Amino acid sequence: MSSSFERGLKILAEIASSGETTVDDVALKLGIPVSTAYRYFKVLRDQDFVAEDDGRYRAGRTLLNISGQPVAQSLLSEVGNAVLRSIVDRVGETAVMIVRVGDHAMCLRREEPDKALKYTFAVNELLPLYAGAGQRMLLAWAPQEVLHQVLSGPMARFTNHTLTREQILASIPQIRASGLVLSRGELEEGAVSIAVPVFSRGEVVCSLNVAGPENRCGSKLWIASTLKVMRAAANNLTDSLQSSTPNKSTRETLDDYSSIA
């Protein structure tokens, strides 16, 4: 039987690898009673190893510091929904925040409009790093070894518009220079998506991505107006991250984020 210490380490490892999870999910994976898992989570939360939001748990500041993950990702998790909601309210389409996890991308946060037809990803869903606007933005700024790993591995073609290795390589200098990726149907036919980067201390820590159907989002006018809103949000978020410290509260960071003009 595992010791309490071993169980605690396994729970921390599960949270670190999954990005966000629930007590029930961890209890099922580790084969322990839910009541036991809750006791572990309470201790971990009290010590700031995990943070809880509406029943879902993610890495807290202490775990992020130990694992070497930047404090930026913790702050992104905390303020992400407010940032995305401000975009959705202005552009009327789905907005997601995407981060890189190894050689994949992951949807960290998502906000949706009240519309029947939406293009979106599930929170914590792993995505290919080479297809889609937000994902390719992260690939363009990824370390060279990650780029090599992605482009040398298997690359499924999701639609006829999914880019080839050669096209992706050729696009990287332009993406880094313009700070923009525009995707048309790379993952799903009929979808248009735009992505911009968010920086923290010289590194891209996430991409902001807006997506919708071609018939609503395909015009140059919509793309230009949406891009203006997204860049304002990305700049505000970058400024908040640049000025943040490990001891800065969520409330202070949210106060730093002004409404998009």
Higher pLDDT, 246 or 86: 86
Q: Quickly state the pLDDT bin for 64 (edges 50, 70, 90).
A: low
pLDDT confidence tier of residue 252, bands split at 50, 70 and 90: very low
Asked if pLDDT for residue 103 goes beyond 90, the answer is: no
Q: Hey, is 151 helix, strand or coil?
A: helix
212-251 residue pLDDT tens: 998 888 899 999 999 999 999 999 888 877 765 444 444 4
pLDDT of residue 71: 52
Are 109 and 80 within 8 A, CB to CB?
yes
Pick the CATH number of 71-256 from 2.40.128.20, 3.40.50.2300, 3.30.450.40, 3.90.550.10: 3.30.450.40
Sign of CA dihedral 175, 218, 194, 211: negative
Instruction: Count the Cβ atoms, other than its own, within 10 Å of residue 30.
Output: 16
Q: Which residue has the higher pLDDT, 115 or 41?
A: 41
pLDDT band at 61 (very low <50, low <70, confident <90, very high): low
Residue 1: per-residue pLDDT: 44
Q: Residue 102's pLDDT is what?
A: 79
For the question of whether the overall pTM of this predicted structure is more than 0.85, the answer is no
Whether the pLDDT of residue 10 is over 90: the answer is no
**What confidence tens digit (pLDDT) does each residue in 156-176 have?**
999 999 999 999 999 999 999
Q: Give percent above pLDDT 70 in the chain.
A: 83
Q: 4-67: which CATH architecture?
A: Orthogonal Bundle (1.10)
Q: What is the per-residue pLDDT across 119-135, written as a single tens digit (0 to 9) for each? A: 677 787 888 999 999 99
Is the pLDDT higher at 60 or at 224?
A: 224
Q: Are 183 and 151 in contact (CB under 8 A)?
A: no
Domain spans of the chain, in order of start: 4-67, 71-256
Nearest to 141 by CA among 187, 165, 174: 174
CB 254 within 8 A of CB 241: no
Q: Are 129 and 168 in contact (CB under 8 A)?
A: no
Res 12: pLDDT: 80
What integer pLDDT is reported at residue 117 of this predicted model?
65
Average pLDDT, the chain: 82
Higher pLDDT, 233 or 20: 233
CB 81 within 8 Å of CB 109: yes
